[in-house]
Amino acid sequence: MGDHSMSEKASSQTGPNHIGIIMDGNGRWAQSQGLSRIKGHQQGVETCRRIIEACQALDVHYLTLYAFSAENWNRPETEVNGLMELLELFLMKETGTLKKKRVRLHAIGRIEDLPARPRAALKKAIEATKEFDEWHLILALNYSARNEVVDATQAIATLAANGALDPGSIDWDTISSHLYTGGLPDPDLIVRTSGETRLSNFLLMQSAYAEFYFTATCWPDFTKAHLEEAIRSYHNRERRFGRTGEQLDVETSLTY
Applying CB under 6 A, does 36 fall inside the site for ligand FPP? no
Q: Where are the beta strands (DSSP E) in the chain?
A: 18-22, 62-69, 103-108, 135-143, 189-192, 211-214
Among 4, 18, 41, 106, binds ligand FPP (CB under 6 A): 41
Among 45, 60, 63, 114, binds ligand FPP (CB under 6 A): 45
Applying CB under 6 A, does 67 fall inside the site for ligand FPP? yes
Q: Which stretch binds ligand FPP (CB under 6 A): 79-87, 128-136, 177-185, 242-250?
A: 79-87
Applying CB under 6 A, does 122 fall inside the site for ligand FPP? no
Q: Which residue pairs from 235-241 have beta carbons closer than 8 angstroms and sit at least 24 positions apart in sequence? A: 235/8, 235/11, 235/12, 236/8, 236/12, 237/11, 237/211, 238/4, 238/7, 238/8, 238/11, 239/11, 239/188, 239/209, 239/211, 241/209
**Which residue lies nearest ligand FPP, judged by its C-beta?**
27
Among 28, 39, 50, 61, binds ligand FPP (CB under 6 A): 28
31 burial level (CB within 10 Å; 0-12, 13-18, 19+): middle
Among 24, 148, 211, 249, binds ligand FPP (CB under 6 A): 24
Buried b (16+ CB within 10 A) or exposed e, 217-231: bbbbbbeeebbeebb
Among 20, 44, 82, 109, binds ligand FPP (CB under 6 A): 44
Q: Which stretch binds ligand FPP (CB under 6 A): 42-50, 125-133, 155-163, 247-255?
A: 42-50
Binders of ligand FPP among residues 184 to 203 (CB under 6 A) are 194
| Alpha helices (H) along 58-110 | 77-100
Q: Which stretch binds ligand FPP (CB under 6 A): 10-18, 82-90, 159-167, 242-250?
A: 82-90
Cβ pair 202, 22 in contact under 8 A: yes
Shortest approach of ligand FPP to residue 85 CB, angstroms? 9
Half-sphere exposure of 159 (CA within 13 A, CB side): 15
Applying CB under 6 A, does 227 fall inside the site for ligand FPP? no
Residues known to be catalytic:
24, 72
- Report d(CA 29, CA 219) in Å as an integer: 8
Shortest approach of ligand FPP to residue 102 CB, angstroms? 19
Residues that bind ligand FPP (CB under 6 A): 23-28, 41, 44-45, 48, 65, 67, 72, 83, 86-87, 90, 139, 194, 219
